[in-house]
Amino acid sequence: MRNIAGCNKLERFSVAKRYPVLISRICVVLSRAIALIAFANVCAYVYLKPALPDVDSLRDVQLQVPLRVYTRDGKLLAAIGEQRRIPVRYEQLPKKLIQAFLATEDDRFFRHHGVDLQGILRAAVANLKAGGIRQGASTITMQVARDMFLTPRRDMKRKMSEIYISLLMEAEFTKEEIFSLYVNKIFLGQRAYGVGAAAEVYFGKSLDQLTVAEMATLAGFDRPLRGHPVASAEAAKVRRAHVLGRMLELNYITQAEYDAARLYPMESRLHGASIEADAPTSPRWCATKCRPSTAMAFIPPATRCSPPSTRACRQRHGGAAHRTLGIRSSPWLSRSTAKVDPSKLATPKDLEAQLEEFPVIGGLRPAIVEQVDAKSAKIYVRDIGEVTLPWEKLSWARRELPDEKVDRAPAQASEILTRGDVIYTVGRTAQSLLFVQVPEAQSALVSVDPKDGAVVALVGGFDYFQSKFNRATQARRQPGSGFKPFVYAAAFDKGYTPASIVLDAPIVIDEAAWSRRGGRTRTPTSSTARSACAMRWCTREIWYRCA
């Protein structure tokens, strides 16, 4: 018994002695592992350093933004560019929008130094449990580093470069600067880069007008994009619910806000740029001339286009220019644009759906003929509704006959229209509405302010979207009588007066190398002769004498 007790005492003593030894060995192994990892990191940094970019260049980063053309009174005419982007400062971001991105992308963003070790361990455990890649460990800083400096290729070299660049960025920039760069750079689908443009594209709002549900929707877009509402409203709802759940979990929103946002309807249509000038299409003619490739050659130095604003056009002059041309109010012949099946005209919703297929042309709205009576016609006009056209608004129409002849005046409305015809109208109210023809004639006009040379109106045709050929700047024509002021200016410079007499006789230049042919020889004529024909020859005579 004594020997057994002695053995147990020795065993207890030996085990007690082993613990410090075991712990010391573990510490040695860990310290060596840490030293080895540190050494490997130093070697990797030395190896990658020559290829690492200068993160300080982010201070001068130039985000690609569309050319935004404004009227002289500050209204937006057009936004031209492949990418839609509205840069915003950190101070302009709503707090809930910041929290929505933090909840879904990097909730420890303001606490780590570019690389989140806790997040890496959490993602590793989650991926091991799932048996595959389910969570990522990239911080917002790492995403900015990847998007700004690296390629999408996935390998260890790129990942290590991403980590080092992130650490360097955190040393050079504040968290607010990095987050602002992130939300302005990310691609959110439909040519929208950054949250400012995405809010306009998907919701037709500015950032300060977004609801919590809409902010969560923007933060929930997958990369590559699979969850934006236009691609799939249901997928967007699922992603939004995930973001809202994370925001609730992190106490960014209350339970009441969460419940209201979950029930908020998901909008799934696109919105255009918030164009503020409503002149029919002249802003487009002006705006296209403000592209960088053409602006400097076209617009006088005092008014050359330069983002973010330009003095190139005035909205109020654009509408007046179209009215001045008169092409809208001078239809020649009446004929319907197309015809739809009358059996599909049951409800206003059906009519609007049919009219969606026909564009608004130069401010002219499409309409469908619902009913034709003896001296009137009931039509359904896009965005206005049902309107009855009386006889005085129809009787101008004439049918087209062969050889460009016009038929007699109609006796009743059925000679002009039939049920199901698609026609065009002009007017904003039922009372002012007129039945018109989309004109085949095209005209152009340029109006210049003589005080400073600013182009205050430019119209290149009836409708920019129907024909983008700019007849004001792209067409090649003889100057005609527009050249006469230059001729007379040269004449005055040579001593001629309005009373000077010139001989309107045949002209030969360089010993018959060229001679004027055609017309008839006239007697001596004053330089202010009234006859158009005499004025033409007189102008030529003065030009030849002054050249």
**Active-site amino acid positions:** 105, 481
Rounded CA gap, 43 and 25, in Å?
27
Rounded CA gap, 245 and 266, in Å?
17
442: left (phi over 0), alpha (psi -120 to 50) or beta: beta
DSSP secondary structure string for all residues of 66-92: PEEEEBTTS-EEEEESSSB-----GGG
Task: Residue 114: name the closest of 137, 134, 97, 96 by CA.
Answer: 137
Rounded CA gap, 221 and 194, in Å?
12
Task: Residue 202: name the closest of 242, 230, 178, 174 by CA.
Answer: 230
**Planar angle of CA 368, 374, 380, nearest 5 degrees:** 15
Rounded CA gap, 18 and 25, in Å?
10
Q: In whole angstroms, what separates CA 282 from the centre of its chain?
A: 17
- Is the separation of the CB atoms in 254 and 262 below 8 Å? no
Q: In whole angstroms, what separates CA 366 from the centre of its chain?
A: 25
- Is the separation of the CB atoms in 367 and 423 below 8 Å? yes
Contacts of 426 (CB under 8 A, 6+ apart): 328, 363, 364, 365, 433, 434, 436
- Is the separation of the CB atoms in 253 and 261 below 8 Å? yes
Which amino acid is residue 451, in one-letter code? K
Residue 94 burial (C-beta neighbours within 10 Å; 0-12, 13-18, 19+):
middle
Size (the chain), residues: 547
Q: In whole angstroms, what separates CA 14 from the centre of its chain?
A: 79
Task: Residue 205: name the closest of 62, 97, 101 by CA.
Answer: 97
Record the tokens describing residue 533, joined without a space.
């024909």
- Is the separation of the CB atoms in 440 and 463 below 8 Å? no
Residue 92 burial (C-beta neighbours within 10 Å; 0-12, 13-18, 19+):
middle
Measured between alpha carbons, how far apart are the two ends of the chain, in Å? 139
- Is the separation of the CB atoms in 188 and 239 below 8 Å? no
Strands 405-406 and 421-426: unpaired
CA distances, 289 to each of 263, 283, 427 (Å): 46, 10, 29
